[in-house]
């Protein structure tokens, strides 16, 4: 999960309180959140993007058309969210999630899963961060007790993250590290790696945890 700068003015269609997912809402969310699911950072086809209520609309009806309560989600994440809200609530992008959460991915020893993800609150007293870490952990874990379809969704997400790192990041990472070791210009490789680790790129927070710490200067 990344922090974003949501536009302050709500899309005009929300004023009518007839729909929370008209075209202007979809377009605004897609632009403000860089075309990514706010929970897993998977890129989605805008035609299949779902609008999620951070605080469920069934719980607080007044927030059904509230712009700051609407978020772009992929279908798997939206379908697997817990339909309730902790007493102290969750964190949302824009509330310092990158500073209040630790988000890491590591290679897995499980032959069935290429990597594992870990989410935790930086502070043990930050209740919203703890609740958000728990939610993200569940979405990024293959629950062996769950039904087959749910297990497959979790495994698919982890495979997608691992595959993206292998195909799009790893080779560039090696090139840049080698160039820096030899005190040479990394050139195009460094520019490409910077772009693929930016907040606009998919899985940016987890991918950053996979690359060498010495490359942190490439993070925007």
Residue 154 pLDDT class (50, 70, 90 cuts) = confident
Q: Show Cβ contacts of residue 60 under 8 Å, excluding neighbours closer than 6 positions.
A: none
* pLDDT tens digits, 86-110: 889 999 999 999 999 999 999 877 6
Segment 147-165 shows an average pLDDT of 83
3-class secondary-structure state, position 107? strand
Segment 191-211 shows an average pLDDT of 96
CB atoms within 10 A of CB 125: 7
pTM exceeds 0.85: yes
pLDDT at 105: 96
* pLDDT tens digits, 2-13: 999 999 999 999
Please spell the DSSP secondary structure of 4-65, one letter per residue: ----SSPPGGGGGTS-S--HHHHHHHHHHTTTB-TTT--B--GGG-EEEESS-TTT-GGGTT
Separation CA 136–CA 101 (nearest Å): 10
Query: Do residues 55 and 85 lie in contact, with contact meaning Cβ atoms separated by under 8 Å?
Result: yes
Separation CA 164–CA 67 (nearest Å): 32
Residue 187 pLDDT class (50, 70, 90 cuts) = confident
Residue 153 pLDDT class (50, 70, 90 cuts) = confident
Separation CA 166–CA 115 (nearest Å): 11
Angle, CA of 107, 201 and 215, to the nearest 5°: 60
Q: Show Cβ contacts of residue 174 under 8 Å, excluding neighbours closer than 6 positions.
A: none
Quickly tell me which residue has 């007044």 as its tokens.
62
Separation CA 78–CA 129 (nearest Å): 19
42 sits in the region (left: phi over 0; alpha: psi -120 to 50; else beta) called: beta
Q: Show Cβ contacts of residue 160 under 8 Å, excluding neighbours closer than 6 positions.
A: 42, 203
């Amino acid at each position: 999960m990344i922090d974003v700068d949501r536009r302050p003015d709500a899309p005009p269609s929300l004023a009518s309180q007839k729909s929370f997912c008209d075209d202007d809402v979809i377009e605004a969310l897609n632009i403000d959140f860089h075309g990514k699911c706010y929970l897993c950072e998977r890129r989605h086809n805008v035609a299949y993007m779902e609008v999620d209520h951070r605080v469920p609309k069934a719980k607080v009806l007044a927030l059904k058309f509230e712009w700051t309560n609407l978020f772009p989600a992929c279908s798997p994440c939206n379908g697997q969210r817990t339909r309730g809200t902790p007493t102290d609530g969750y964190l949302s992008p824009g509330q310092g999630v990158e500073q209040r959460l630790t988000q890491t991915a590591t290679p897995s020893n499980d032959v069935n899963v290429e990597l594992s993800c870990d989410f935790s609150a930086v502070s043990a007293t930050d209740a919203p961060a703890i609740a958000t870490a728990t939610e993200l952990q569940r979405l990024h874990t293959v629950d062996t007790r769950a039904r087959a379809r749910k297990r497959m969704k979790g495994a698919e997400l982890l495979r997608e993250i691992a595959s993206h790192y292998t195909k799009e990041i790893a080779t560039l990472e090696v090139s840049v590290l080698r160039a820096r070791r030899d005190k040479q210009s990394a050139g195009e490789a460094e520019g490409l790696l910077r772009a693929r680790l930016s907040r606009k790129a998919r899985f940016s927070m987890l991918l950053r945890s996979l690359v060498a710490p010495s490359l942190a200067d490439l993070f925007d």
